[in-house]
Structure 1
Amino acid sequence: MATIRMIDIAVNFTDNMFKGIYNGKQHHVSDIAAVLSRAWSAGVDRIIVTGGSLEESKEALAIAETDARLFCTVGVHPTRCNEFDESGDPEKHFQELLSLAKVGVEKGKVVAIGECGLDYDRLHFCPSDIQKKYFDKQFELAYLVKLPMFLHMRAAANDFCDILERNKDRFSGGVAHSFTGSAEDCDKLLLFSNLFIGVNGCSLKTAENLEVVKGIPVERMMVETDSPYCEIKNTHAGVNFVKSLWPSKKKEKYDQGCIVKGRNEPCLVRQVLEVVAGCKGITDIDQLSKTLYHNTCRVFFPHDLDSAADALLSSGMGPK
Protein backbone atom coordinates (compact mmCIF):
# COMPACT_ATOMS: atom_id res chain seq x y z
CA MET A 1 0.00 0.00 0.00
CA ALA A 2 1.07 3.58 -0.66
CA THR A 3 2.65 5.51 2.17
CA ILE A 4 -0.43 7.50 3.16
CA ARG A 5 -0.65 8.92 6.69
CA MET A 6 -4.07 9.02 8.27
CA ILE A 7 -5.51 9.76 11.70
CA ASP A 8 -8.70 7.94 12.65
CA ILE A 9 -10.43 10.44 14.93
CA ALA A 10 -13.13 8.05 16.22
CA VAL A 11 -12.62 4.47 17.37
CA ASN A 12 -14.78 2.90 20.09
CA PHE A 13 -12.19 0.51 21.50
CA THR A 14 -14.20 0.31 24.72
CA ASP A 15 -16.94 -1.55 22.84
CA ASN A 16 -17.38 -5.21 23.73
CA MET A 17 -16.92 -6.27 20.11
CA PHE A 18 -13.20 -5.57 20.50
CA LYS A 19 -13.27 -7.90 23.48
CA GLY A 20 -14.79 -10.58 21.24
CA ILE A 21 -18.27 -10.20 22.79
CA TYR A 22 -21.27 -9.79 20.48
CA ASN A 23 -24.79 -9.42 21.90
CA GLY A 24 -23.54 -10.71 25.25
CA LYS A 25 -21.89 -13.84 23.82
CA GLN A 26 -18.12 -14.43 23.70
CA HIS A 27 -17.01 -15.42 20.20
CA HIS A 28 -13.27 -14.78 20.32
CA VAL A 29 -10.50 -13.32 22.47
CA SER A 30 -9.89 -9.60 22.87
CA ASP A 31 -8.01 -8.59 19.74
CA ILE A 32 -7.16 -4.90 19.89
CA ALA A 33 -3.48 -5.74 19.26
CA ALA A 34 -4.32 -7.46 15.95
CA VAL A 35 -6.67 -4.64 14.98
CA LEU A 36 -3.95 -2.07 15.68
CA SER A 37 -1.40 -4.03 13.66
CA ARG A 38 -3.68 -3.85 10.61
CA ALA A 39 -4.27 -0.14 11.20
CA TRP A 40 -0.58 0.77 11.38
CA SER A 41 0.14 -1.33 8.26
CA ALA A 42 -2.63 0.50 6.38
CA GLY A 43 -1.06 3.91 7.04
CA VAL A 44 -2.99 4.94 10.15
CA ASP A 45 -0.63 7.15 12.11
CA ARG A 46 -2.72 7.82 15.22
CA ILE A 47 -6.08 6.86 16.66
CA ILE A 48 -8.38 8.78 19.00
CA VAL A 49 -10.34 6.43 21.29
CA THR A 50 -13.81 7.76 22.04
CA GLY A 51 -15.14 8.25 25.57
CA GLY A 52 -18.92 8.42 25.92
CA SER A 53 -19.47 8.32 29.68
CA LEU A 54 -17.38 8.81 32.81
CA GLU A 55 -16.59 5.11 33.12
CA GLU A 56 -16.01 4.71 29.39
CA SER A 57 -13.70 7.72 29.41
CA LYS A 58 -11.65 6.08 32.18
CA GLU A 59 -11.38 2.93 30.07
CA ALA A 60 -10.53 4.94 26.96
CA LEU A 61 -7.66 6.62 28.81
CA ALA A 62 -6.38 3.25 30.05
CA ILE A 63 -6.43 1.91 26.48
CA ALA A 64 -4.71 5.04 25.15
CA GLU A 65 -1.87 4.50 27.61
CA THR A 66 -1.03 1.13 26.04
CA ASP A 67 0.40 2.59 22.82
CA ALA A 68 2.20 5.85 21.99
CA ARG A 69 -0.03 6.28 18.93
CA LEU A 70 -3.31 6.08 20.84
CA PHE A 71 -5.12 9.10 22.32
CA CYS A 72 -8.61 9.62 23.71
CA THR A 73 -11.48 11.91 24.59
CA VAL A 74 -13.22 12.48 27.92
CA GLY A 75 -16.91 13.33 28.00
CA VAL A 76 -20.51 12.18 28.06
CA HIS A 77 -22.48 11.25 24.93
CA PRO A 78 -25.88 12.98 24.60
CA THR A 79 -27.77 9.69 24.94
CA ARG A 80 -26.04 9.07 28.28
CA CYS A 81 -26.42 12.48 29.86
CA ASN A 82 -28.86 11.01 32.37
CA GLU A 83 -25.78 9.78 34.21
CA PHE A 84 -25.20 13.27 35.63
CA ASP A 85 -28.53 13.32 37.48
CA GLU A 86 -28.54 9.60 38.20
CA SER A 87 -25.19 9.96 39.97
CA GLY A 88 -27.05 11.81 42.73
CA ASP A 89 -24.59 14.69 42.60
CA PRO A 90 -24.23 16.19 39.09
CA GLU A 91 -21.55 18.65 40.19
CA LYS A 92 -19.43 15.90 41.71
CA HIS A 93 -19.87 13.89 38.51
CA PHE A 94 -18.69 16.90 36.53
CA GLN A 95 -15.66 17.33 38.80
CA GLU A 96 -14.72 13.68 38.28
CA LEU A 97 -14.80 14.24 34.52
CA LEU A 98 -12.68 17.36 34.98
CA SER A 99 -10.13 15.52 37.14
CA LEU A 100 -9.90 12.69 34.61
CA ALA A 101 -9.42 15.14 31.76
CA LYS A 102 -6.66 16.97 33.66
CA VAL A 103 -4.85 13.70 34.41
CA GLY A 104 -5.14 12.69 30.77
CA VAL A 105 -3.82 16.02 29.54
CA GLU A 106 -0.83 15.74 31.89
CA LYS A 107 -0.13 12.29 30.43
CA GLY A 108 -0.39 13.69 26.91
CA LYS A 109 -3.27 11.36 26.11
CA VAL A 110 -6.55 13.29 26.33
CA VAL A 111 -6.90 15.48 23.24
CA ALA A 112 -10.58 16.52 23.32
CA ILE A 113 -13.74 16.82 25.39
CA GLY A 114 -16.46 14.52 24.12
CA GLU A 115 -18.20 12.71 22.72
CA CYS A 116 -20.84 15.29 23.55
CA GLY A 117 -23.64 17.04 21.74
CA LEU A 118 -27.29 16.43 20.87
CA ASP A 119 -29.06 13.34 19.49
CA TYR A 120 -32.76 13.84 18.81
CA ASP A 121 -32.99 10.54 16.92
CA ARG A 122 -32.66 8.67 20.21
CA LEU A 123 -34.66 10.66 22.74
CA HIS A 124 -35.83 7.39 24.31
CA PHE A 125 -32.38 7.19 25.91
CA CYS A 126 -32.28 10.76 27.18
CA PRO A 127 -34.77 13.66 26.79
CA SER A 128 -33.73 16.77 24.89
CA ASP A 129 -33.78 19.12 27.90
CA ILE A 130 -31.26 16.93 29.76
CA GLN A 131 -29.13 16.63 26.63
CA LYS A 132 -29.05 20.39 26.12
CA LYS A 133 -28.26 21.08 29.78
CA TYR A 134 -25.21 18.82 29.88
CA PHE A 135 -24.02 19.59 26.37
CA ASP A 136 -23.86 23.21 27.47
CA LYS A 137 -22.12 22.21 30.71
CA GLN A 138 -19.37 20.27 28.96
CA PHE A 139 -18.10 23.41 27.26
CA GLU A 140 -16.95 24.36 30.75
CA LEU A 141 -14.73 21.27 30.69
CA ALA A 142 -13.21 22.37 27.39
CA TYR A 143 -12.63 25.86 28.75
CA LEU A 144 -11.03 24.69 31.98
CA VAL A 145 -8.60 22.24 30.37
CA LYS A 146 -8.11 24.21 27.12
CA LEU A 147 -9.14 21.36 24.83
CA PRO A 148 -11.13 21.18 21.58
CA MET A 149 -14.54 19.50 21.37
CA PHE A 150 -15.40 16.13 19.87
CA LEU A 151 -19.05 16.58 18.92
CA HIS A 152 -22.11 14.50 18.04
CA MET A 153 -25.17 15.88 16.22
CA ARG A 154 -28.22 13.94 15.05
CA ALA A 155 -31.44 15.63 13.88
CA ALA A 156 -30.72 18.61 16.14
CA ALA A 157 -28.94 21.19 13.99
CA ASN A 158 -30.78 24.29 15.24
CA ASP A 159 -30.39 23.63 18.97
CA PHE A 160 -26.87 22.30 18.43
CA CYS A 161 -25.76 25.46 16.62
CA ASP A 162 -27.49 27.69 19.18
CA ILE A 163 -25.46 26.07 21.96
CA LEU A 164 -22.27 26.27 19.88
CA GLU A 165 -22.87 29.97 19.26
CA ARG A 166 -23.42 30.58 22.97
CA ASN A 167 -20.15 28.85 23.80
CA LYS A 168 -18.01 29.75 20.79
CA ASP A 169 -15.47 31.60 22.94
CA ARG A 170 -15.07 28.69 25.37
CA PHE A 171 -13.44 26.14 23.08
CA SER A 172 -10.50 26.28 20.70
CA GLY A 173 -11.98 24.17 17.92
CA GLY A 174 -13.65 20.87 17.25
CA VAL A 175 -15.20 18.36 14.91
CA ALA A 176 -18.81 17.35 14.35
CA HIS A 177 -18.04 13.68 13.88
CA SER A 178 -19.96 11.00 11.97
CA PHE A 179 -21.84 13.66 10.05
CA THR A 180 -25.02 12.41 8.38
CA GLY A 181 -26.98 15.67 8.08
CA SER A 182 -28.26 17.65 5.14
CA ALA A 183 -26.37 20.18 3.04
CA GLU A 184 -28.23 22.87 5.01
CA ASP A 185 -27.04 21.36 8.31
CA CYS A 186 -23.52 21.24 6.96
CA ASP A 187 -23.61 24.89 5.92
CA LYS A 188 -24.72 25.85 9.44
CA LEU A 189 -21.77 24.02 10.96
CA LEU A 190 -19.28 25.47 8.50
CA LEU A 191 -20.25 28.97 9.65
CA PHE A 192 -18.19 28.20 12.76
CA SER A 193 -14.67 28.80 11.46
CA ASN A 194 -13.04 26.53 14.05
CA LEU A 195 -15.32 23.55 13.36
CA PHE A 196 -14.55 20.60 11.09
CA ILE A 197 -16.78 17.82 9.70
CA GLY A 198 -15.96 14.17 10.42
CA VAL A 199 -16.84 11.71 7.67
CA ASN A 200 -17.21 7.91 7.96
CA GLY A 201 -19.17 5.08 6.35
CA CYS A 202 -22.45 6.39 7.76
CA SER A 203 -21.72 9.69 5.98
CA LEU A 204 -21.40 7.88 2.64
CA LYS A 205 -24.45 5.59 2.53
CA THR A 206 -26.66 7.21 -0.08
CA ALA A 207 -26.31 9.28 -3.24
CA GLU A 208 -27.69 12.20 -1.23
CA ASN A 209 -24.98 11.69 1.39
CA LEU A 210 -22.31 11.76 -1.31
CA GLU A 211 -23.70 15.02 -2.68
CA VAL A 212 -23.40 16.56 0.79
CA VAL A 213 -19.82 15.30 1.16
CA LYS A 214 -18.97 16.79 -2.25
CA GLY A 215 -19.91 20.17 -0.79
CA ILE A 216 -17.65 19.93 2.25
CA PRO A 217 -14.33 21.70 1.55
CA VAL A 218 -11.45 19.27 2.12
CA GLU A 219 -9.86 22.00 4.27
CA ARG A 220 -12.75 21.56 6.73
CA MET A 221 -12.93 17.76 6.78
CA MET A 222 -11.56 14.85 8.80
CA VAL A 223 -11.94 11.09 8.27
CA GLU A 224 -12.85 8.39 10.76
CA THR A 225 -14.32 4.92 11.10
CA ASP A 226 -16.36 5.21 14.33
CA SER A 227 -15.57 1.51 14.52
CA PRO A 228 -16.88 -1.03 15.31
CA TYR A 229 -19.85 0.80 13.75
CA CYS A 230 -20.37 2.70 10.48
CA GLU A 231 -18.57 0.37 8.08
CA ILE A 232 -18.88 0.95 4.33
CA LYS A 233 -21.23 -1.80 3.16
CA ASN A 234 -21.67 -3.29 -0.30
CA THR A 235 -25.09 -1.62 -0.47
CA HIS A 236 -23.67 1.88 0.08
CA ALA A 237 -23.57 4.43 -2.71
CA GLY A 238 -19.83 5.02 -2.43
CA VAL A 239 -18.70 1.39 -2.43
CA ASN A 240 -17.59 1.51 -6.08
CA PHE A 241 -14.87 3.99 -5.09
CA VAL A 242 -13.35 1.54 -2.58
CA LYS A 243 -9.99 0.14 -3.68
CA SER A 244 -8.45 -1.29 -0.49
CA LEU A 245 -9.80 -4.63 0.74
CA TRP A 246 -8.93 -7.01 3.55
CA PRO A 247 -9.85 -10.70 3.97
CA SER A 248 -12.74 -11.19 6.38
CA LYS A 249 -14.41 -14.01 8.25
CA LYS A 250 -17.53 -14.31 10.36
CA LYS A 251 -17.08 -13.97 14.11
CA GLU A 252 -17.98 -17.65 14.49
CA LYS A 253 -14.90 -18.53 12.42
CA TYR A 254 -12.62 -15.93 13.95
CA ASP A 255 -9.12 -15.59 12.53
CA GLN A 256 -6.94 -12.83 13.96
CA GLY A 257 -5.40 -12.32 10.52
CA CYS A 258 -8.79 -11.34 9.11
CA ILE A 259 -11.32 -8.61 9.70
CA VAL A 260 -14.49 -9.76 11.46
CA LYS A 261 -17.39 -9.46 9.02
CA GLY A 262 -19.79 -6.73 10.13
CA ARG A 263 -17.30 -5.18 12.58
CA ASN A 264 -15.64 -2.00 11.40
CA GLU A 265 -12.05 -1.30 12.42
CA PRO A 266 -9.55 1.55 11.98
CA CYS A 267 -7.60 0.16 9.00
CA LEU A 268 -10.81 0.73 7.01
CA VAL A 269 -10.47 4.50 7.40
CA ARG A 270 -8.50 4.10 4.19
CA GLN A 271 -11.74 3.14 2.44
CA VAL A 272 -13.37 6.33 3.74
CA LEU A 273 -10.49 8.31 2.26
CA GLU A 274 -10.95 6.50 -1.06
CA VAL A 275 -14.69 7.19 -1.22
CA VAL A 276 -14.20 10.86 -0.34
CA ALA A 277 -11.60 11.14 -3.11
CA GLY A 278 -13.83 9.29 -5.56
CA CYS A 279 -17.00 11.28 -4.98
CA LYS A 280 -15.06 14.55 -5.14
CA GLY A 281 -13.18 13.53 -8.29
CA ILE A 282 -9.80 13.84 -6.56
CA THR A 283 -7.20 11.67 -8.29
CA ASP A 284 -4.24 12.32 -6.00
CA ILE A 285 -5.27 10.54 -2.80
CA ASP A 286 -1.86 11.19 -1.25
CA GLN A 287 -2.36 14.95 -1.38
CA LEU A 288 -5.90 14.57 -0.03
CA SER A 289 -4.60 12.56 2.91
CA LYS A 290 -2.01 15.26 3.66
CA THR A 291 -4.71 17.94 3.81
CA LEU A 292 -6.92 15.85 6.12
CA TYR A 293 -3.91 15.00 8.28
CA HIS A 294 -3.10 18.70 8.60
CA ASN A 295 -6.71 19.48 9.54
CA THR A 296 -6.65 16.87 12.29
CA CYS A 297 -3.33 18.07 13.68
CA ARG A 298 -4.63 21.65 13.66
CA VAL A 299 -7.40 20.71 16.08
CA PHE A 300 -6.12 17.77 18.15
CA PHE A 301 -2.33 17.81 17.78
CA PRO A 302 -1.37 21.49 17.36
CA HIS A 303 2.20 20.79 18.51
CA ASP A 304 2.62 18.83 15.25
CA LEU A 305 1.23 21.61 13.09
CA ASP A 306 4.59 22.86 11.83
CA SER A 307 5.67 19.45 10.55
CA ALA A 308 2.24 18.83 9.02
CA ALA A 309 2.34 22.23 7.32
CA ASP A 310 5.82 21.51 5.99
CA ALA A 311 4.54 18.28 4.47
CA LEU A 312 1.65 20.16 2.88
CA LEU A 313 3.94 22.80 1.41
CA SER A 314 6.27 20.20 -0.04
CA SER A 315 3.28 18.50 -1.66
CA GLY A 316 2.13 21.76 -3.27
CA MET A 317 -1.18 21.84 -1.34
CA GLY A 318 -0.18 24.29 1.36
CA PRO A 319 -0.91 28.02 1.33
CA LYS A 320 0.97 29.94 -1.37
Structure 2
Amino acid sequence: MALPRLALVPGEPAGVGPELCVRAAQRAWNAGLVAYGDAASLVNAARRLGLPLQLLPPDPAGARPGQLPLVEIPHPAACAPGAPDPRNAVTVVEALTRAADACQAGDCDGLVTGPVHKATINLGGIAYTGTTELLAQHAGREVVMMLANDIVRVALATTHLPLREVADAITPALLERVLRIVHAAMRTDFGIAEPRIAVLGLNPHAGECGHLGREELEVIEPVLARLRAEGFDLPGPLPADTAFLPSKLRGFDAVLAMYHDQGLPVLKYSGFEHAVNLTLGLPYPRVAVDHGTAFDLAGTGRADPSSLFAAIDTCTRLAGRRREA
Protein backbone atom coordinates (compact mmCIF):
# COMPACT_ATOMS: atom_id res chain seq x y z
CA MET A 1 0.00 0.00 0.00
CA ALA A 2 1.25 3.49 -0.84
CA LEU A 3 2.34 5.72 2.00
CA PRO A 4 -0.20 8.27 3.30
CA ARG A 5 0.09 11.64 1.61
CA LEU A 6 0.09 14.62 4.00
CA ALA A 7 -0.44 18.29 3.19
CA LEU A 8 2.08 20.41 5.11
CA VAL A 9 1.34 24.12 5.64
CA PRO A 10 4.22 26.23 7.05
CA GLY A 11 1.93 29.03 8.34
CA GLU A 12 3.14 32.56 9.04
CA PRO A 13 6.20 33.18 6.83
CA ALA A 14 7.86 35.54 9.33
CA GLY A 15 7.68 32.94 12.09
CA VAL A 16 9.47 29.65 12.64
CA GLY A 17 7.12 27.60 10.44
CA PRO A 18 9.22 27.68 7.23
CA GLU A 19 12.37 26.72 9.15
CA LEU A 20 10.60 23.80 10.83
CA CYS A 21 9.32 22.57 7.47
CA VAL A 22 12.83 22.72 6.03
CA ARG A 23 14.05 20.60 8.94
CA ALA A 24 11.21 18.14 8.33
CA ALA A 25 12.25 17.89 4.68
CA GLN A 26 15.65 16.56 5.76
CA ARG A 27 14.12 13.33 7.08
CA ALA A 28 12.50 10.26 5.57
CA TRP A 29 8.95 9.76 6.85
CA ASN A 30 6.36 7.00 6.68
CA ALA A 31 4.29 9.46 4.66
CA GLY A 32 4.73 11.61 1.58
CA LEU A 33 4.80 15.34 2.39
CA VAL A 34 3.44 18.01 0.06
CA ALA A 35 3.94 21.58 1.22
CA TYR A 36 1.36 24.28 0.50
CA GLY A 37 2.97 27.69 0.68
CA ASP A 38 5.49 30.20 -0.52
CA ALA A 39 8.65 28.93 -2.25
CA ALA A 40 10.79 31.96 -1.39
CA SER A 41 10.15 31.71 2.35
CA LEU A 42 11.15 28.03 2.33
CA VAL A 43 14.27 28.62 0.23
CA ASN A 44 15.34 31.54 2.41
CA ALA A 45 14.80 29.47 5.56
CA ALA A 46 16.94 26.66 4.14
CA ARG A 47 19.69 29.14 3.28
CA ARG A 48 19.67 30.60 6.81
CA LEU A 49 19.84 27.10 8.29
CA GLY A 50 22.55 25.97 5.89
CA LEU A 51 20.45 22.96 4.87
CA PRO A 52 19.80 21.58 1.38
CA LEU A 53 16.34 22.06 -0.08
CA GLN A 54 15.13 21.19 -3.56
CA LEU A 55 11.51 22.10 -4.24
CA LEU A 56 9.70 19.63 -6.48
CA PRO A 57 6.39 19.48 -8.32
CA PRO A 58 3.55 18.43 -5.95
CA ASP A 59 3.98 14.67 -6.18
CA PRO A 60 5.71 13.10 -3.16
CA ALA A 61 6.46 9.80 -4.89
CA GLY A 62 10.21 9.32 -4.93
CA ALA A 63 11.03 12.45 -2.93
CA ARG A 64 14.22 12.03 -0.91
CA PRO A 65 15.57 13.81 2.18
CA GLY A 66 16.47 17.35 1.19
CA GLN A 67 13.58 17.52 -1.29
CA LEU A 68 10.09 18.88 -0.73
CA PRO A 69 7.16 18.71 -3.16
CA LEU A 70 5.35 22.06 -3.21
CA VAL A 71 2.01 23.50 -4.25
CA GLU A 72 3.18 27.07 -4.57
CA ILE A 73 1.05 29.86 -3.12
CA PRO A 74 3.27 32.95 -3.42
CA HIS A 75 3.07 35.61 -0.73
CA PRO A 76 2.71 39.14 -2.13
CA ALA A 77 5.16 40.66 0.37
CA ALA A 78 8.62 39.49 1.32
CA CYS A 79 9.15 39.64 5.07
CA ALA A 80 12.13 39.30 7.35
CA PRO A 81 12.12 36.77 10.20
CA GLY A 82 10.19 38.18 13.14
CA ALA A 83 8.54 40.93 11.08
CA PRO A 84 5.13 39.75 9.82
CA ASP A 85 3.40 41.65 7.02
CA PRO A 86 -0.43 41.83 7.00
CA ARG A 87 -0.35 41.86 3.17
CA ASN A 88 0.36 38.14 3.36
CA ALA A 89 -2.81 37.36 5.32
CA VAL A 90 -4.80 36.29 2.26
CA THR A 91 -2.20 33.80 1.06
CA VAL A 92 -1.54 32.42 4.56
CA VAL A 93 -5.24 31.57 4.77
CA GLU A 94 -5.34 30.40 1.15
CA ALA A 95 -2.60 27.85 1.86
CA LEU A 96 -4.74 26.39 4.64
CA THR A 97 -7.94 26.23 2.60
CA ARG A 98 -6.25 24.78 -0.48
CA ALA A 99 -4.59 22.10 1.63
CA ALA A 100 -7.97 21.37 3.24
CA ASP A 101 -9.54 21.15 -0.23
CA ALA A 102 -6.91 18.57 -1.19
CA CYS A 103 -7.77 16.51 1.89
CA GLN A 104 -11.51 16.69 1.26
CA ALA A 105 -11.00 15.73 -2.40
CA GLY A 106 -8.93 12.69 -1.39
CA ASP A 107 -5.72 14.03 -2.95
CA CYS A 108 -4.16 14.12 0.53
CA ASP A 109 -4.85 11.86 3.50
CA GLY A 110 -4.19 14.34 6.28
CA LEU A 111 -3.22 17.91 7.11
CA VAL A 112 -0.28 19.11 9.23
CA THR A 113 -0.20 22.82 10.00
CA GLY A 114 2.47 25.16 11.30
CA PRO A 115 1.74 28.22 13.43
CA VAL A 116 -0.08 31.28 12.13
CA HIS A 117 -0.36 34.72 13.73
CA LYS A 118 -3.98 35.68 14.36
CA ALA A 119 -3.30 39.36 14.90
CA THR A 120 -1.47 39.72 11.57
CA ILE A 121 -4.26 37.96 9.69
CA ASN A 122 -6.85 40.25 11.28
CA LEU A 123 -4.73 43.28 10.44
CA GLY A 124 -4.79 42.01 6.86
CA GLY A 125 -8.57 42.43 6.81
CA ILE A 126 -9.63 38.83 7.52
CA ALA A 127 -11.73 38.12 10.60
CA TYR A 128 -9.82 35.17 12.04
CA THR A 129 -10.28 33.45 15.39
CA GLY A 130 -8.09 30.41 14.73
CA THR A 131 -7.18 27.65 12.30
CA THR A 132 -9.43 25.15 14.10
CA GLU A 133 -12.42 27.41 13.56
CA LEU A 134 -11.42 28.12 9.94
CA LEU A 135 -11.18 24.43 9.05
CA ALA A 136 -14.46 23.64 10.83
CA GLN A 137 -16.29 26.32 8.84
CA HIS A 138 -14.58 25.25 5.63
CA ALA A 139 -15.68 21.62 6.10
CA GLY A 140 -19.10 22.46 7.53
CA ARG A 141 -18.41 20.32 10.60
CA GLU A 142 -18.68 20.67 14.36
CA VAL A 143 -15.21 20.04 15.78
CA VAL A 144 -13.38 19.69 19.08
CA MET A 145 -9.85 20.80 19.91
CA MET A 146 -7.66 18.17 21.55
CA LEU A 147 -4.05 18.50 22.63
CA ALA A 148 -2.03 15.37 23.20
CA ASN A 149 1.41 14.07 24.06
CA ASP A 150 2.70 10.67 25.13
CA ILE A 151 1.23 11.11 28.62
CA VAL A 152 -2.26 12.56 28.26
CA ARG A 153 -4.89 13.60 25.72
CA VAL A 154 -6.92 16.67 26.71
CA ALA A 155 -10.02 17.74 24.78
CA LEU A 156 -11.67 21.12 25.41
CA ALA A 157 -15.37 21.80 25.87
CA THR A 158 -14.69 25.51 25.25
CA THR A 159 -11.60 27.06 23.71
CA HIS A 160 -10.72 30.74 23.46
CA LEU A 161 -13.31 32.39 25.69
CA PRO A 162 -12.92 34.95 28.46
CA LEU A 163 -13.23 33.10 31.76
CA ARG A 164 -16.38 35.00 32.77
CA GLU A 165 -18.16 33.58 29.68
CA VAL A 166 -17.24 29.93 30.16
CA ALA A 167 -20.03 28.87 32.55
CA ASP A 168 -22.76 30.23 30.27
CA ALA A 169 -21.19 28.54 27.25
CA ILE A 170 -21.27 25.05 28.81
CA THR A 171 -24.82 24.00 27.95
CA PRO A 172 -26.19 20.45 27.86
CA ALA A 173 -26.31 20.60 24.06
CA LEU A 174 -22.68 21.71 23.76
CA LEU A 175 -21.41 19.17 26.26
CA GLU A 176 -23.24 16.29 24.60
CA ARG A 177 -22.03 17.31 21.14
CA VAL A 178 -18.43 17.57 22.32
CA LEU A 179 -18.50 14.20 24.07
CA ARG A 180 -19.98 12.48 21.03
CA ILE A 181 -17.26 13.92 18.78
CA VAL A 182 -14.47 12.93 21.20
CA HIS A 183 -15.92 9.44 21.67
CA ALA A 184 -16.21 8.87 17.90
CA ALA A 185 -12.67 10.16 17.28
CA MET A 186 -11.18 7.95 19.97
CA ARG A 187 -12.74 4.95 18.26
CA THR A 188 -12.08 5.92 14.63
CA ASP A 189 -8.73 7.70 14.80
CA PHE A 190 -7.12 6.10 17.85
CA GLY A 191 -8.55 2.60 17.45
CA ILE A 192 -9.93 2.42 21.02
CA ALA A 193 -13.12 0.36 20.86
CA GLU A 194 -14.47 1.42 24.27
CA PRO A 195 -12.82 4.74 25.18
CA ARG A 196 -12.83 5.88 28.79
CA ILE A 197 -13.15 9.67 28.81
CA ALA A 198 -12.72 11.46 32.13
CA VAL A 199 -14.90 14.57 32.40
CA LEU A 200 -13.73 17.40 34.64
CA GLY A 201 -16.06 19.55 36.67
CA LEU A 202 -16.24 23.27 36.07
CA ASN A 203 -15.91 24.46 39.66
CA PRO A 204 -13.30 23.76 42.35
CA HIS A 205 -13.82 20.29 43.85
CA ALA A 206 -16.34 19.66 41.03
CA GLY A 207 -18.80 21.94 42.82
CA GLU A 208 -18.58 20.28 46.26
CA CYS A 209 -22.13 18.86 45.97
CA GLY A 210 -23.48 22.24 44.90
CA HIS A 211 -21.80 24.33 47.59
CA LEU A 212 -19.21 25.75 45.15
CA GLY A 213 -21.42 25.98 42.09
CA ARG A 214 -24.31 24.05 40.60
CA GLU A 215 -23.12 23.49 37.02
CA GLU A 216 -22.01 19.95 37.86
CA LEU A 217 -25.43 19.05 39.29
CA GLU A 218 -27.59 20.85 36.76
CA VAL A 219 -25.62 20.55 33.50
CA ILE A 220 -22.74 18.10 33.54
CA GLU A 221 -24.09 15.15 35.53
CA PRO A 222 -27.39 14.88 33.60
CA VAL A 223 -25.53 14.78 30.27
CA LEU A 224 -23.13 12.12 31.54
CA ALA A 225 -26.02 10.01 32.83
CA ARG A 226 -27.77 10.19 29.46
CA LEU A 227 -24.67 9.14 27.54
CA ARG A 228 -23.77 6.42 30.03
CA ALA A 229 -27.18 4.90 29.33
CA GLU A 230 -26.01 4.57 25.70
CA GLY A 231 -22.84 2.76 26.76
CA PHE A 232 -20.35 5.64 27.06
CA ASP A 233 -17.66 5.21 29.74
CA LEU A 234 -17.51 8.65 31.36
CA PRO A 235 -16.00 9.03 34.82
CA GLY A 236 -16.93 12.37 36.33
CA PRO A 237 -17.46 15.13 36.86
CA LEU A 238 -14.06 14.97 38.52
CA PRO A 239 -12.20 17.65 40.48
CA ALA A 240 -9.60 19.06 38.11
CA ASP A 241 -6.94 19.39 40.80
CA THR A 242 -6.69 15.61 41.31
CA ALA A 243 -7.86 14.14 37.98
CA PHE A 244 -4.37 14.49 36.47
CA LEU A 245 -2.59 12.43 39.11
CA PRO A 246 -0.54 9.79 37.27
CA SER A 247 -2.33 6.93 39.03
CA LYS A 248 -5.66 8.22 37.72
CA LEU A 249 -4.49 9.17 34.23
CA ARG A 250 -3.42 5.61 33.59
CA GLY A 251 -7.09 4.62 33.65
CA PHE A 252 -8.26 7.25 31.14
CA ASP A 253 -7.95 7.35 27.35
CA ALA A 254 -8.72 11.08 27.28
CA VAL A 255 -9.73 13.92 29.57
CA LEU A 256 -12.38 16.52 28.75
CA ALA A 257 -11.59 19.90 30.31
CA MET A 258 -14.27 22.55 30.57
CA TYR A 259 -12.03 25.44 29.51
CA HIS A 260 -8.67 26.18 27.95
CA ASP A 261 -6.50 26.80 31.00
CA GLN A 262 -8.07 24.05 33.09
CA GLY A 263 -6.36 21.23 31.23
CA LEU A 264 -3.67 22.60 28.96
CA PRO A 265 -1.16 23.80 31.58
CA VAL A 266 -0.93 20.23 32.87
CA LEU A 267 -0.45 18.83 29.39
CA LYS A 268 2.20 21.37 28.47
CA TYR A 269 4.07 20.85 31.72
CA SER A 270 4.07 17.08 31.16
CA GLY A 271 5.69 17.31 27.72
CA PHE A 272 5.34 20.54 25.76
CA GLU A 273 8.02 19.77 23.18
CA HIS A 274 6.23 16.66 21.92
CA ALA A 275 2.65 17.92 22.28
CA VAL A 276 0.40 18.29 19.25
CA ASN A 277 -2.94 19.94 18.56
CA LEU A 278 -5.63 17.81 16.90
CA THR A 279 -8.94 18.90 15.39
CA LEU A 280 -11.47 16.14 16.02
CA GLY A 281 -14.56 15.87 13.82
CA LEU A 282 -13.12 16.88 10.45
CA PRO A 283 -13.49 14.50 7.47
CA TYR A 284 -9.69 14.10 7.49
CA PRO A 285 -7.00 14.07 10.22
CA ARG A 286 -5.60 17.47 11.09
CA VAL A 287 -2.66 17.82 13.45
CA ALA A 288 -0.87 21.06 14.30
CA VAL A 289 2.14 22.09 16.31
CA ASP A 290 1.42 23.07 19.89
CA HIS A 291 3.25 26.39 19.82
CA GLY A 292 3.05 29.78 18.21
CA THR A 293 5.04 31.62 15.59
CA ALA A 294 7.94 32.32 18.00
CA PHE A 295 8.98 35.53 16.25
CA ASP A 296 11.83 35.91 18.74
CA LEU A 297 13.36 32.64 17.49
CA ALA A 298 12.62 33.09 13.79
CA GLY A 299 15.82 33.28 11.76
CA THR A 300 18.07 32.20 14.63
CA GLY A 301 18.12 28.49 13.78
CA ARG A 302 17.24 27.66 17.41
CA ALA A 303 13.58 26.72 16.92
CA ASP A 304 12.87 23.18 18.18
CA PRO A 305 11.19 21.06 15.47
CA SER A 306 10.03 18.37 17.93
CA SER A 307 6.37 19.41 17.91
CA LEU A 308 6.23 19.47 14.10
CA PHE A 309 7.91 16.07 13.92
CA ALA A 310 5.40 14.73 16.45
CA ALA A 311 2.55 16.25 14.42
CA ILE A 312 3.76 14.52 11.24
CA ASP A 313 4.11 11.18 13.03
CA THR A 314 0.68 11.53 14.66
CA CYS A 315 -1.04 12.54 11.44
CA THR A 316 0.62 9.64 9.63
CA ARG A 317 -0.81 7.17 12.15
CA LEU A 318 -4.28 8.70 12.06
CA ALA A 319 -4.32 8.80 8.25
CA GLY A 320 -3.21 5.18 8.13
CA ARG A 321 -6.05 4.09 10.43
CA ARG A 322 -8.63 5.94 8.37
CA ARG A 323 -7.34 4.35 5.19
CA GLU A 324 -7.52 0.89 6.74
CA ALA A 325 -11.06 1.57 7.95
TM-score normalised per structure 1: 0.30
Larger Rg: 2
Tell me: higher relative CO, structure 1 or 2? Use CA pairs within 8 A at least 6 residues apart: 2
Higher share of residues assigned helix: 1
TM-score normalised per structure 2: 0.30
